[in-house]
Amino acid sequence: MQNNIFQIFNTIFSEDPKLPKSICLEIDVLDSINQNQITETQLSDIFEIYLHMFIYGFKKLNLSFDEKSILILKQYFASLDPSISFNIDIKQFETKLFKDPQYLYRYCIIDSSFIIDDQPLFISNANKFNRTKLNEYIAVYQDEYESMIFVSFDFV
pLDDT in tens, 16-38: 998 888 887 766 665 555 656 77
Helix (H, G, I), strand (E, B) or coil at 88: strand
Q: What is d(CA 82, CA 91) in angstroms, rounded to the nearest whole number?
A: 26
Instruction: Report CA-CA distances (Å) from 99 to 76, 103, 106.
Output: 33, 7, 11
Q: Supply the pLDDT for residue 150.
A: 93
CA dihedral 91, 93, 99, 105 (to 10 degrees): 50
Burial of 59 (0-12, 13-18, 19+ CB in 10 A): middle
Contacts for 12 with CB less than 8 Å, ≥ 6 apart: 23, 53, 57, 76, 79, 80
Across the chain, mean pLDDT equals 83
Give phi and psi for 145, each to the nearest 5: -115, 30
pLDDT in tens, 44-53: 888 888 898 8
3-state helix, strand, coil in the chain (%, to 5): 40, 20, 40
Label residue 40 by pLDDT band (50, 70, 90). confident
Identify whether the C-beta of residue 141 lies closer than 8 Å to the C-beta of residue 148.
yes
Q: Domains in the chain: how many in total?
A: 1
pLDDT in tens, 70-104: 999 999 988 887 788 889 999 999 999 999 988 88
Q: Supply the pLDDT for residue 76.
A: 92
The fraction of the chain above a pLDDT of 90, given in percent, is 28
Q: Assign residue 89 a region: left if phi > 0, alpha if psi is -120 to 50, beta otherwise? A: beta
Beta-ladder partners of 155: 84
| Residue 149 confidence (pLDDT) above 70 | yes
**Radius of gyration, CA atoms only, the chain:** 15
Domain that holds residue 136: 2-155
Q: What is d(CA 124, CA 62) in angstroms, rounded to the nearest whole number?
A: 26
